[in-house]
Homo-oligomer: A and B are copies of this chain.
């Protein structure tokens, strides 16, 4: 018989689940990798993401998941925030072209919109909010940012989303030209999850 799940993640992305397992399992004696599970494994429904900020969306996803499963739940919301667009695409990053999850269309649209904008006005940042919510109502959110500038053409094959156009400050490569290891070391998501990890450990340990 397998060990009972102890933490549920609001994602269906196997890579994200593996990533959080890799952070949490070494940090928490007695936690088995298979005790960190995805929402789909528990049959949890997907909530409507109708928040107006990354933090609101991360919290509402984690709250819904904790309520549906009775387990501590971790959720994140992230996206690209472009200076001359006043922070947009922001929470609309994944559906910027109107087609949800169509990375190529979203990225092509953004580059077309900004085609007349030159350096030094192409500043942008990736933002991530990561939330932990427990069934008894404990809530904690951490955020991370990766500041950079937008390239005029996509470059690189790693990563996903807007990675091929964001050049981190101090770098010449786009996020899609960094190795996975390099990217996680500086990324918005890496920062937010590293900050959230000790809080998750305390909750699971208690």
Using CB atoms and an 8 Å cutoff, list the residues of chain A in contact with chain B.
48-50, 52, 84-88, 90-92, 95-99, 108-109, 112-118, 121
Contacts and interface: CB of A to CB of B under 8 A. Distances in A.
B86 A116 contact: no
A149 to B, nearest CB: 15
Contacts of A109: 97-98, 109
Given A50-B118, A108-B98, A113 B92 contact: yes
Given A52-B84, A87-B86, A96 B118 contact: no
Contacts of A98: 108-109, 112-113
Given A98-B108, A98-B109, A109-B98, A116 B50 contact: yes
A161 to B, nearest CB: 16
Contacts of A97: 109, 112
Nearest to A96: B113
10 nearest A-B residue pairs (beta carbon): A98-B112, A86-B86, A86-B87, A88-B88, A85-B88, A92-B113, A86-B88, A98-B109, A50-B116, A52-B84
A32 to B, nearest CB: 37
Contact of A117 (B50, B96, B112, B121): B50
A193 to B, nearest CB: 25
A113 B95 contact: yes
Contacts of A116: 48-50
10 contacts: A50-B117, A52-B121, A85-B85, A85-B86, A85-B92, A86-B86, A86-B87, A92-B113, A96-B113, A98-B113
